[in-house]
Amino acid sequence: MTDLADLTIAQARAGLRDGSFTSIDLLDAAQRRAAVSEPHLHAYLTIDREGAREAAVAADRSIADGDTRPLVGIPIALKDNMVTKGVETTAGSQILAGWTPPYDGTAVRRLREAGAVIVGKTNLDEFAMGSSTENSAYGPTRNPWNTDTVPGGSSGGSAAVVAVGSALGAFGSDTGGSIRQPASLTGTVGAKPTYGLVSRYGLIAFASSLDQIGPIAQTVPDAATLLEAVAGWDPLDATSFHGDVPAISRSLDAGVGGLRIGVVRELVGSGIEPDVLGATQATIDRLADAGADVVELSVPAIEYALSAYYLIAPAECSSNLARFDGVRYGLRVDGATTEEMMAKTRADGFGPEVIRRILLGTYALSAGYYDAFYGQSQRVRTLLRRDFAAAYDQVDVLVSPTSPSTAFEIGSKTADPYTMYLSDICTIATNLAGDPAISVPVGLGNDRLPIGFQIMAPALGEEVMFRVAAEVERGAAFVERAQLATSEVVTP
């Protein structure tokens, strides 16, 4: 018999509907899986047993009354930078240790209202700053495929729980690749929606003009289901998109016949590991075989994206994180004056990567440097959007690898911050442009670790993006599971 923790959301939904099992059964399975995997992974920061059980009981009642909504009774996990009323929310930082929010973020509220069962809060790089989940103040998360390696980041905890089955789906946030890169490294599907499609209200801000909440799931249809539950205009987020939500899951079965697919020349070159390039090429070949018209084209400004990103994101974060000052909530380190208290609190409460980015951003915004750094980066962003627009004049979607490599060993990139930043080279450009992108697992590398394939689309192009992603998924027939998720290996 299949362990319920290994079901997709679609399968779980069918079983709930036909009464094969209950939401409580699903929750029990996820929690059992967490009990065996967590000692190895440290993917959860908080497991909300009581809240989850209440939600599952309520879901079972609702299902008994005929509720067939897609997420009712489904156990999901949330990245710990998503604010949850009554459940500790730390953003992976010491400065928020013990903070219990008095409110729910909009995405969280919509998930609760959709009947989802929130299992717990997942680990992340502190304030979502990082690409490996090693920057968490509460210790790193490990990759369930190989616990010597990182799960990627910053949504490494959310990716790991989905890969291992301690939640059937999860949400992360993506500022420069923080959903797609960990999805790639853990063999899961991760999508960053169009900027503004999902409300940021209640997402602890890293870089406001880049941050987006998005789903991580085992399959493309599951990711679509999760995204549909949270997408849509929110009056509490002035930057949320006020218009029709794309038909995210409408064309999942439509295939790619007649679609034009562009391979981004700048993202299939040096700096990408050969087995990743190989899997990428194989995927592209399958898309062509499936009837897509594949061309290679250039998005020249992508070469400048990483540098522009590492000025824009720190600049915004330096301001966004100013509120953590020891006055109203969170950590306080005593000082003789308020000024001293604030400076000591921030020195002790923030980890080195966060401090580094705050300093970088403060510098980039300061008088005399603003135009050379921040202003210039925002103009580069315009160039990048123009280049993307020109590319989308020719093709429906763009494709590339998601990550230049498979999962790397813990500690291997922590010494030089810039080396770590290079993990995001394939993903960053779409954040700067505001466009959606998704990572789909397409195979294993020489190290038997997953490789992800990225599909990018123009703003609000989620329908075509998911359509291509579904074809990629069918073509890859990627059925391997993480080592830790296969019960015979797990020793309780």
For residues 129-168, which are near another protein according to CB under 8 A? none
Q: How many CB atoms lie within 10 A of CB 262?
A: 22
At its nearest, how many Å lie between another protein and the CB of residue 175?
12
At its nearest, how many Å lie between another protein and the CB of residue 360?
5
Check 37, 132, 173, 178 and give the catalytic one: 178
Regarding 334 and contact with another protein (CB under 8 A), the answer is yes
In the complex with another protein, which residue's Cβ is closer, 326 or 475? 326
Candidates 8, 62, 378, 412: give the one binding another protein (CB under 8 A).
378
Stretch that binds another protein, among 182-190, 246-254, 328-336, 389-397 (CB under 8 A): 328-336
Stretch that binds another protein, among 59-67, 428-436, 463-471, 475-483 (CB under 8 A): 428-436
Supply the DSSP symbol for 194.
P
Tokens found for residue 399: 């494709």
CA–CA dist 71, 21 (Å, integer) = 15
Candidates 20, 253, 258, 370: give the one binding another protein (CB under 8 A).
370
- The span from the first CA to the last CA of the chain, in angstroms, equals 19
In the complex with another protein, which residue's Cβ is closer, 209 or 486? 209
Regarding 285 and contact with another protein (CB under 8 A), the answer is no
- Specify whether the CB–CB gap between 116 and 76 falls below 8 A: yes
At its nearest, how many Å lie between another protein and the CB of residue 275?
15
Stretch that binds another protein, among 94-102, 134-142, 149-157, 182-190 (CB under 8 A): 94-102
Amino acid letter, 359: L
Regarding 47 and contact with another protein (CB under 8 A), the answer is no
CA–CA dist 226, 45 (Å, integer) = 22
In the complex with another protein, which residue's Cβ is closer, 145 or 421? 421
Check 23, 79, 158, 184 and give the catalytic one: 79
Tokens found for residue 48: 């909300």
Q: What is the largest CA-CA distance in the chain?
A: 70
Candidates 209, 412, 486, 487: give the one binding another protein (CB under 8 A).
209
Regarding 375 and contact with another protein (CB under 8 A), the answer is yes
Candidates 331, 440, 442, 484: give the one binding another protein (CB under 8 A).
331
At its nearest, how many Å lie between another protein and the CB of residue 39?
29
Residue 132 designated active-site: no
Candidates 59, 87, 227, 365: give the one binding another protein (CB under 8 A).
365
In the complex with another protein, which residue's Cβ is closer, 146 or 431? 431
User: Which residues in the 379-418 window bind another protein by CB under 8 A?
Assistant: 379-383, 385, 416-418
Candidates 44, 206, 373, 453: give the one binding another protein (CB under 8 A).
373
Check 154, 184, 249, 405 and give the catalytic one: 154
Residue 79 designated active-site: yes
- Coil, strand or helix: which one is 245? coil
Regarding 362 and contact with another protein (CB under 8 A), the answer is yes
CA–CA dist 41, 227 (Å, integer) = 26
- Specify whether the CB–CB gap between 121 and 173 falls below 8 A: no
User: Which residues in the 290-309 window bind another protein by CB under 8 A?
Assistant: 296, 303-304, 306-308
**Distance, CA of 485 to chain centre:** 20
Regarding 282 and contact with another protein (CB under 8 A), the answer is no
Regarding 206 and contact with another protein (CB under 8 A), the answer is no
In the complex with another protein, which residue's Cβ is closer, 20 or 281? 281
In the complex with another protein, which residue's Cβ is closer, 151 or 214? 214
Regarding 462 and contact with another protein (CB under 8 A), the answer is no
Regarding 100 and contact with another protein (CB under 8 A), the answer is yes
Stretch that binds another protein, among 48-56, 67-75, 176-184, 197-205 (CB under 8 A): 197-205
Candidates 23, 89, 94, 154: give the one binding another protein (CB under 8 A).
89
Q: How many CB atoms lie within 10 A of CB 50?
A: 10
Phi-psi group of 348: left, alpha or beta (phi > 0 → left; psi -120 to 50 → alpha; rest → beta): alpha
- Specify whether the CB–CB gap between 223 and 215 falls below 8 A: yes
- Cα separations (Å) of 21 from 51, 111, 116, 359, 378? 20, 21, 16, 52, 52
CA–CA dist 432, 429 (Å, integer) = 5
For another protein, how many residues bind (rule: CB under 8 A)? 114
Tokens found for residue 153: 């980041």
Tokens found for residue 64: 């008994």
Q: Is the peptide bond before 154 cis (omega within 30 degrees of 0)?
A: yes
Candidates 48, 134, 174, 266: give the one binding another protein (CB under 8 A).
266
At its nearest, how many Å lie between another protein and the CB of residue 200?
6
CA–CA dist 262, 389 (Å, integer) = 13
- Cα separations (Å) of 470 from 214, 221, 427? 17, 7, 19
Binding mask 13-42 for another protein (x = CB under 8 A): ------------------------------
Residue 413 designated active-site: no
Q: Which of 43, 14, 24 has the alpha carbon at shortest distance from 482?
A: 43
Regarding 274 and contact with another protein (CB under 8 A), the answer is no
Amino acid letter, 256: V
DSSP-assigned letters across all residues of 218-244: SSHHHHHHHHHHHBS--TT-TTS--SP
Active-site annotation, residues: 79, 154, 178
